[in-house]
Structure 1
Amino acid sequence: MGREEDVIEAGGDVERDFQQDEKPDFSGGAEEVVGMQELDPALDRKMHLVNNALDQIGWTNYHLKLFFLNGFGYGVDALQLSLQGIIAVQAVLEFQPSYDKGLTIALYMGMLIGALFWGFFADIIGRKIAFNISLFICSVFTIAAGAAPNWVGLGVLIAVAAFGAGGNLILDTAVFLEYLPSNKQWLLSLLPAWFGVGCTIAGLVAWGFMPNFSCSDASDCTRANNNGWRYLMYTMGAFIGVLAVARVTVIRLQETPKFLVGQGRDEEVVDNLQGIAKRYNRPCNLTLAQLEACGTVNSAHSTNRFSVGEFMVHLRSLFLTKKMGFTTMLLWLSWTSIGLAYPLFNVFLPYYLASRGVQFGVTSSFETWRNYALVQVCGIFGPVLGAFMCNWRPLGRKYTMVIGALITMAFFFAYSQVKSQTENIAYSCVISFTLEIYYGVLYGYTAESLLSAHRGTANGIAVAFCRLGGTFSSVVATYADPSTTGPVFVCAALYGGLALFAVLFPFEPYGKRAA
């Protein structure tokens, strides 16, 4: 970093390219969300050139495939969350444990460890390996969980399956974003629509199994008359296995060009981007000479990739400037809050619907699971609206999150006044829709406001805070009975705080390019 003059002299052609490309012809402008000019000028210039190349290539069928394949990861993450909430009631009746919220803790601890492990792993080894194997781990242990002989065994298998699924949200955002042209970065906020797809699939399959193969009384609940939740786990585990196979057969993923830049593997960066351009008959003027003329990247890694020092390099990257440090703290607060609020509604939704249904004279398990499926379908469309809103200049990412959080807060408060089964379903559907507006854009904002070389670790830590909040949700639900409105009021207050955090975010990624 101390030889900037030499770099500029060696890279005169690149400097002229920078001057010519200050206002290139693409939607969104040439400025990066987070600049590294003063911290690592070589990395900043190389990232600028890679972004120019991605914009020149534009949107292709390769990106469309990535949207679906990365979406599978989002869907599986949500599916795991839903499965735990769905099977918990029946598993408790069968095993009669001393602490009936144990599965929630097991799930979130597995996802917490998975987020940290896969995030750090992705920054050291790369996105490709983790992307290809995480769903296989999730598939195997989801199927195994269906055969669990006792409560402890079920909790352990759920935790390992969650460990596999837990890295997907980190990997999927990184892989997709680091290939996107800048005028399509808003699609990162559309990706969470797959959350709703995953929840809906779990709900529909549960609707088929749970009413017909479940016991209703703890005094007479055995494996013989309570196999519905096991059938559900077998089916969903096999389904995840199919998605895992699709990931390695539909597309042969190469390491993302922005990860390769941080690794100093300039030749692979050029080969990767030129290969895509050639395959889809698109222009790409990036050359190896241009990247090499920018100098050597100094800030991305330590001398020993497998060390505490390497982790500290990635951790310190979150606080390189006051602005970045403030963003990091707000992201951690936001993810912890949403991690507490989201499961209080989504994971414990079967409890809400069942208890409210009883109040309003609905005792059929068939109707309960039908209603659950309806609520999950509505969640698909929240990120769709959020993605279009955040790509509108007056709102951008920040104020789309503010609107989504405030509307969700209002409907949570209104939900406490429900007086009929129709209102019960209507409000649940609306909340499922509005909370996904906020949640979807938060995922996109987090990835866009992080540096590529440290994106996996930074995103992993943020999502780990989300999982920690999810673990606490089981404690809140224990003392605030999920069959009452207590957790609903907690959710409403948390969404009010999330709106405030969104206002305070210093970066606005709209119209800028991810670093």
Structure 2
Amino acid sequence: MASTLPPPEKKVKVDHDTPLPPSDIEAGSTHPTDLLSREHTDPVLNAKMHLVNDAIDEIGFTPYQWKLFVLNGFGYAVDSLILLIQSIIAGQAALEFSPGWGNGLTVAAYVGMLVGASFWGLTADIIGRKFAFNVSLIICSVFAIVAGASPNWYVLGLFVCLSSFGGGGNLVLDTAVFLEYLPSGKQWMLTLMACWWGIGQLIAGFFAWAFLPNFSCADPSISPDAEPCTYDNNKGWRYVWFASGSLVFVMSILRITVMRLRETPKFLIGEGRDAEAVETLLFIADKYSRSCSLSLEQLQACGSIHKNLDRSKWSPATVGTHLKGLFATRRIGVSTGLIWLSWVLIGLAYPLYNVFLPQYLASRGAEFGQTSAYVTWRNYALVNFSGVWGPVLAGWMCNLKLLGRKYTMVIGALVTCVFFFAYTQVRNQTQNTAFTCIINFCLNVYYGTLYAYTPEVLPSAHRGTGNGLAVSGNRVMGIVSAVVATYADTATPVPIYICAALYVVMAGIAVGFPFEPYGRRSS
């Protein structure tokens, strides 16, 4: 069959085996080579992905991508919003319900996020990005609203878990969908999009600031004369859920009405649906008066992608195919393993540090004083506002040839580690707020880049699965941190230094990543 293929296909195949010589660059593509082109996993798929990348670069950056930046950014915001809301309201809800285990909501949230990331990530690879993109956010919003009406601690935990299940898929899908429409020269914007994570935290802080000081019962441990907490005098945490869920619902509707997302061309190519991929790209080009020279004949000339049509989409063999694809070659396998390890370490280090640090500082004589609820939530909003700007700096840094994605993560992790160690010397409220703002900023330089790097280096056909399992590892560590917080001794500084040292390990792992996406195009 190969002997009958026309010359254009031979040229595409050469593009994937060796760097483009100057003559080919001038005659064909002036764009960077494809990141995974030399891995030889599937020559036909690689050739078609190369043509699709050329078409996306030819169309360029349009208002369609701007819409994706905002509407996909909602998913980032929702993920952080839901995680923070449950931790913010847990104390007030516990005063009303008197639970046996105060960390139960944290575990419920992380379990929901864990299952959601795995399920929606795999779903995105099996039935497509579009369905999961539209449905997951609606599920999250409905159960977030219902959580505000919970009659007891167990029902609240259930609704938190279900809301997190919907929200947990967004972090996986938003990066994949945005990346698969981005021209190569704009891939750095995937890192910038992580600023929405900080915006979600900021919204959570504002909701807490607005409702909790004014509509909450007093803590009997602080005010012995306080009345018992009941439904009537403790509605602040419920208002926080109602407001958050309503906002997420509006976001989910905007996704459907404003965006009307089309299935990504790269997913369609992986499914052998070449005609639909071409139609989608031509639609965008025509809508925004851009040129697109890709044709169905060019894709068909590359050959056919082998798909086992006798196998159910949800069969164990199909799922296994997506898992095997993440280790298709030695370099891809090493890359996948190191990425997953990075997500596990950051998922353990940051929550545990937050768990141990307050008790450690108190044991060393730090005096924060009894600040009002208003001041507490004001400071909380300031800290979250600082986190918005970490990914903005990271987006600029990762687009510098000297740094790229890998060394942006190295710098972010090491600087965070330095301030973590310095934070142990905090002795008053002002220092506490200042250091927390700085750490939140620096941490998001690393975190925001890792969020973007992960889908950039994963094979497109298995991107949802790989990204979902990476985030799932992060959520598992969140559950572990809640358990450790319950039973560990907080008097010793050892866990603090171990958590901070993990950032040095993460910096070392970033150096060892086998792929650098700077100047290269994702599959």
Q: Do Structure 1 and Structure 2 share a fold, with TM-score over 0.5?
A: yes
Q: Tell me what 1:107 maps to.
A: 109
| Separation in 2, partners of 1:161, 1:25 | 52
- 2:399 maps to 1:399: no
Q: Tell me what 2:264 maps to.
A: 256
Deviations 1:205-225 (A, max 9, x none): 110111111223257222222
Q: Secondary structure at the match of 1:401?
A: helix
Percent of paired sites with the same residue = 55
| Cα 1:347/1:231, change in 2 over 3 Å | farther
Q: What are the within-5 Å matches in structure 2 for residues 147-226 of structure 1?
A: 147-218=149-220, 220-226=228-234
- Is the CA contact 1:262–1:300 (under 8 Å) kept in the aligned structure 2? no
- Is the CA contact 1:23–1:30 (under 8 Å) kept in the aligned structure 2? no
TM-score, scaled relative to structure 2: 0.92
Q: Tell me what 2:422 maps to.
A: 414
Q: Tell me what 2:225 maps to.
A: none
Q: Tell me what 1:10 maps to.
A: 5
Q: Tell me what 1:138 maps to.
A: 140
Q: Tell me what 1:286 maps to.
A: 294
- Is the CA contact 1:94–1:218 (under 8 Å) kept in the aligned structure 2? no
Displacement after TM superposition at 1:11 (Å):
3.4
Q: Tell me what 1:247 maps to.
A: 255
| Cα 1:102/1:60, change in 2 over 3 Å | same
- Is the CA contact 1:300–1:314 (under 8 Å) kept in the aligned structure 2? no
Deviations 1:87-121 (A, max 9, x none): 11112222221111111111001000001110111
Residue of structure 2 aligned with 1:128, choices 114, 125, 130: 130
- Is the CA contact 2:112–2:163 (under 8 Å) kept in the aligned structure 1? yes
Displacement after TM superposition at 1:31 (Å):
1.4
* Greater shift in the superposed pair: 237-246 or 17-26: 17-26
| Separation in 2, partners of 1:189, 1:441 | 5
- 2:470 maps to 1:465: no
- Is the CA contact 1:302–1:313 (under 8 Å) kept in the aligned structure 2? no
Structure 1: unaligned runs, 5 residues or longer: 1-5
Displacement after TM superposition at 1:431 (Å):
0.4
Q: Tell me what 1:56 maps to.
A: 58
Q: Secondary structure at the match of 2:418?
A: helix
Q: Tell me what 1:3 maps to.
A: none
Q: Secondary structure at the match of 2:326?
A: helix
- Is the CA contact 1:476–1:487 (under 8 Å) kept in the aligned structure 2? no
Q: Tell me what 1:76 maps to.
A: 78
Q: Tell me what 1:95 maps to.
A: 97
- 2:489 maps to 1:494: no
Q: Tell me what 2:398 maps to.
A: 390
Displacement after TM superposition at 1:23 (Å):
2.7
Displacement after TM superposition at 1:337 (Å):
1.0
Q: Tell me what 1:272 maps to.
A: 280
| Cα 1:195/1:22, change in 2 over 3 Å | farther
Q: Secondary structure at the match of 2:37?
A: coil
| Separation in 1, partners of 2:100, 2:511 | 43
Q: Secondary structure at the match of 2:232?
A: helix
Displacement after TM superposition at 1:16 (Å):
4.1
| Cα 1:432/1:351, change in 2 over 3 Å | farther
Displacement after TM superposition at 1:304 (Å):
2.7
* Greater shift in the superposed pair: 64-73 or 321-330: 321-330
Displacement after TM superposition at 1:483 (Å):
10
- Is the CA contact 1:28–1:513 (under 8 Å) kept in the aligned structure 2? no
Displacement after TM superposition at 1:421 (Å):
1.5
Residue of structure 1 aligned with 2:385, choices 361, 371, 377: 377
| Separation in 2, partners of 1:212, 1:362 | 17
Task: Tell me the amino acid that sits aligned with residue 5 of structure 2.
Answer: A
| Separation in 2, partners of 1:402, 1:27 | 32
Residue of structure 1 aligned with 2:322, choices 314, 326, 334: 314
Q: Tell me what 2:333 maps to.
A: 325
Between the two proteins, the alignment pairs up a number of residues equal to: 510
